């Protein structure tokens, strides 16, 4: 997909998927908008890898009517410039984007690698958020949290900071693969990293298409955003005990990519609602997005 292209989305209208905001410090932030421009605003942060295109590619009808989805590229992905310590500074970028769009308050949801970025917002800009939810979120690299995570992922977290140049090189290789043959790369990740339950979800043609289209955009900047995300668990900077607002937490089990991290996070938060999803997996969200939004924005119908 070339810059500026508009994709056809089966479940909702694409308002525009190539928006760029120049932030106050000169960096660029890319974002997409979907759904009803007059609807209830919901900011959604993609996982790792992912991009602003991720949510618009979900098949079927996962979004409720009367909702305005704002999906920014996180730093180092898609059209958003990378910056050091991106996680801590992300809430400022989000607030600036909301101001630009004339949005005072919004609901917030993020799966997987986007989870820490949603938690950072709940910590630093709670006055701008009406409700917040995370699914299968990455969390601190603690033994209690990482139980059930496959060895290859645990190893990445362990070596990510002392051997960061190696992580960057690995992500550059993945970026090359994603741009050259995204379908082949997604199939390789399927075989290496997904549980049997997740493989059944992935093997649906409409789900495979999400990764085929999204991966090249996710790795547009040669994987620097993905490499940074890998360092977050070992250098977890968010004091979960200081997040005062209620956080809705969805935890799939077994989830071989993040293990018990979501459940661990819920236990550390002063005010959380945990939804346990037995006998599912990390891709649960791709077929149950409507259930999440019904919880976060219950008055929309």
Are 69 and 34 in contact, with CB atoms under 8 Å apart?
yes
Q: Which of 5-14, 84-93, 109-118, 167-176 has the lowest mean pLDDT?
A: 5-14
Q: Is the peptide bond before 130 cis (omega within 30 degrees of 0)?
A: no
Q: Which residue has the tokens 């500026």?
A: 4
pLDDT of residue 59: 80
3-state class of 250 per DSSP?
strand
pLDDT of residue 143: 93
Give residue-wise pLDDT tens across range 29-81: 999 999 888 999 999 999 999 999 999 998 865 577 889 999 999 999 999 99
Percent over 90 (pLDDT), the chain = 83
Per DSSP bridges, beta strands 14-22 and 28-35 are antiparallel
pLDDT of residue 300: 53
Compute the distance between CA of residue 117 and CA of residue 138 in angstroms, rounded to an integer. Answer: 10
CA of 271: how far to CAs of 113, 266, 297, in Å?
A: 21, 8, 18
DSSP 242: G
Most confident listed range (55-64, 85-94, 198-207):
85-94
Give residue-wise pLDDT tens across range 222-272: 999 999 999 999 999 999 999 999 999 999 999 999 999 999 999 999 999
209 CB-contact burial (10 Å; exposed 0-12 / middle 13-18 / buried 19+): middle
Percent over 70 (pLDDT), the chain = 93
What integer best gives the mean pLDDT of the chain? 92
Catalogue all structural domains in the chain, each as residue range(s) with its CATH number. 14-148+235-296 (3.40.50.1820)
Compute the distance between CA of residue 48 and CA of residue 152 in angstroms, rounded to an integer. Answer: 15
pLDDT of residue 290 exceeding 50: yes
Nearest to 228 by CA among 31, 74, 55: 74
Give residue-wise pLDDT tens across range 267-277: 999 999 999 99
pLDDT of residue 35: 87
Compute the distance between CA of residue 48 and CA of residue 54 in angstroms, rounded to an integer. Answer: 11
Nearest to 62 by CA among 296, 294, 300: 294
Phi/psi-derived region of residue 246, left when phi > 0, alpha when psi is between -120 and 50, beta in every other case: beta
Phi and psi at 245, nearest 5°, equal -75, 155
């Amino acid at each position: 997909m070339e810059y500026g292209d508009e994709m056809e989305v089966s479940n909702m209208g694409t308002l525009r998927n190539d928006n760029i905001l120049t932030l106050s410090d000169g960096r660029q932030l890319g974002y997409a908008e979907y759904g009803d421009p007059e609807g209830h605003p919901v900011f959604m942060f993609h996982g790792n890898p992912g991009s602003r295109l991720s949510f618009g590619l979900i098949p079927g009808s996962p979004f409720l009517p009367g909702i305005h989805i704002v999906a920014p590229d996180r730093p180092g992905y898609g059209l958003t410039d990378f910056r050091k310590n991106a996680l801590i500074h992300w809430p400022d970028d989000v607030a600036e984007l909301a101001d630009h769009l004339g949005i005072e308050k919004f609901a917030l949801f993020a799966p997987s690698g986007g989870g820490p970025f949603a938690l950072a917002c709940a910590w630093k800009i709670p006055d701008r958020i009406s409700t917040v939810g995370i699914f299968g979120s990455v969390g601190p690299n603690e033994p209690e949290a990482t139980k059930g995570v496959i060895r290859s992922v645990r190893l990445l977290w362990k070596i990510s900071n002392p051997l960061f140049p190696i992580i960057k090189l690995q992500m550059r290789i993945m970026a090359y693969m994603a741009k050259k043959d995204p379908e082949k790369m997604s199939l390789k990740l399927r075989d290496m990293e997904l549980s049997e339950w997740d493989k059944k979800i992935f093997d649906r043609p409409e789900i495979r298409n999400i990764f085929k289209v999204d991966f090249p955009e996710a790795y547009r900047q040669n994987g620097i955003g993905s490499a940074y995300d890998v360092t977050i668990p070992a250098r977890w900077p968010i004091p979960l005990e200081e997040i005062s607002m209620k956080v809705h937490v969805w935890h799939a089990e077994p989830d071989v990519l993040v293990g018990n991290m979501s459940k661990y996070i819920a236990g550390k938060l002063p005010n959380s609602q945990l939804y346990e999803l037995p006998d599912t997996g990390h891709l649960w969200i791709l077929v149950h997005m409507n259930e999440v939004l019904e919880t976060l924005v219950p008055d929309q119908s």
